[in-house]
Amino acid sequence: MPKALIVDDSRQIADSMVNMLAFFDIEARPAYGARAALNALKEMTPSIVFLDLNMPGLTGFEVLSYLRREPHLELVPVIVVTSDDQPESAELAMQRGASSYVIKPMTLDVLESTLKTLDLIP
């Protein structure tokens, strides 16, 4: 069973994503902020990471950089899910190794398409 890490400082959004992923039989763990995500990544190697960019303290860009520096995490797909609709932010995220960039709110259709593209579901 694929495992996902949901990184968002909004508990409501993170918990909603956990529930949406359960619909596709993906076990998801929420991390309510960047520091919580870094702690979670010490305990697990997810199949996919859903990452918000705008969080207090460390940003999603910093978490993305960490993921790409760590040998056991560098190939894990990262889907940026953010309210930041600026083309410059999307370009920067993709340059830093994001697999996809989605503007909130994430819908079931977009989630399904994303998971299929990454071969996490049939």
| Domains identified in the chain, total number | 1
Dihedral angle over CA of 26, 77, 79, 69, nearest 10: 130
Does a structural domain hold residue 87? yes
15-38 tens-digit pLDDT: 999 999 999 999 999 999 999 999
122 in a structural domain: no
What is the pLDDT, as a whole number, of residue 25? 95
Residue 27 belongs to some domain of the structure: yes
Inform me whether the pLDDT recorded for 59 exceeds 90.
yes
**Which CATH number goes with the domain that contains 112?**
3.40.50.2300
Would you say residue 67 lies in a domain? yes
Question: What confidence score (pLDDT) does residue 97 get?
Answer: 96
Q: What is the 3-state secondary structure (H, E, C) of the chain?
A: CCEEEEECCCHHHHHHHHHHHHHCCCEEEEECCHHHHHHHHHHCCCCEEEECCCCCCCCHHHHHHHHHHCCCCCCCCEEEEECCCCHHHHHHHHHCCCCEEEECCCCHHHHHHHHHHCCCCC
Whole-number average pLDDT of the chain: 96
Portion of the chain with pLDDT greater than 70, in percent: 100
Residue 110: inside a domain, yes or no? Answer: yes
Q: Within 13 Å of residue 65, how many CA atoms lie on the same side as its CB?
A: 7
Whether 112 is in a domain gets the answer yes
How confident is the model at residue 1, as a pLDDT?
85
Q: What is the mean predicted confidence (pLDDT) over 65-92? A: 96
Strand pairing category for 3-7 and 48-51: parallel
Q: Is residue 74 part of a domain?
A: yes
Q: Range of 84's domain?
A: 3-117
In a domain, 57, yes or no: yes
